[in-house]
Amino acid sequence: MDTKISLATRLSCSKLHFVVESTEHKKSHFLIDKMMWNGNRSDDVVVIHITSVLRTKEMKLNLYSELVKVLTVNPGVRKEDIFVTIVDNTPENWSFGKGLAQLST
């Protein structure tokens, strides 16, 4: 399964564009309640911060389930360890280069 195509489908867009910046935290620099919301988390929690133009609630729920489907296969994260939070913004809040606001009309 191609992760990008799969996620794009769930997000109802023909192409999926994203930038990934990842940081590994030393244990002393990371704190999470392993049982919050009956989480049953391990030491290998992945916290995914997403900034996105506003999507529908349905698209967000689909994204969560798709992220679990994809990441539990590769690289093999436990589904309990996938923590996601989204911050919504607007089309004019993106510049993809050259000083332009490509999503803004």
Q: Which residues bind its own copies (CB under 8 A)?
A: 15, 17-25, 29-33, 36-37, 39-41, 47, 49, 51, 57, 60-61, 64-69, 79-90, 92-102, 104
- Of the pair 11, 41, the CB lying nearest its own copies is at 41
In the complex, minimum distance from the CB of residue 41 to its own copies, in angstroms, rounded to a whole number: 7
Task: Give the C-alpha separation, 92 to 68, whole Å.
Answer: 30
In the complex, minimum distance from the CB of residue 43 to its own copies, in angstroms, rounded to a whole number: 14
Contact in structure between 60 and 97 (CB atoms under 8 Å): no
In the complex, minimum distance from the CB of residue 1 to its own copies, in angstroms, rounded to a whole number: 16
- Please choose, from the candidates 29, 35, 27, the residue with its C-alpha nearest in 3D space to the C-alpha of residue 80: 35
Could you tell me how many residues make up the chain?
A: 105
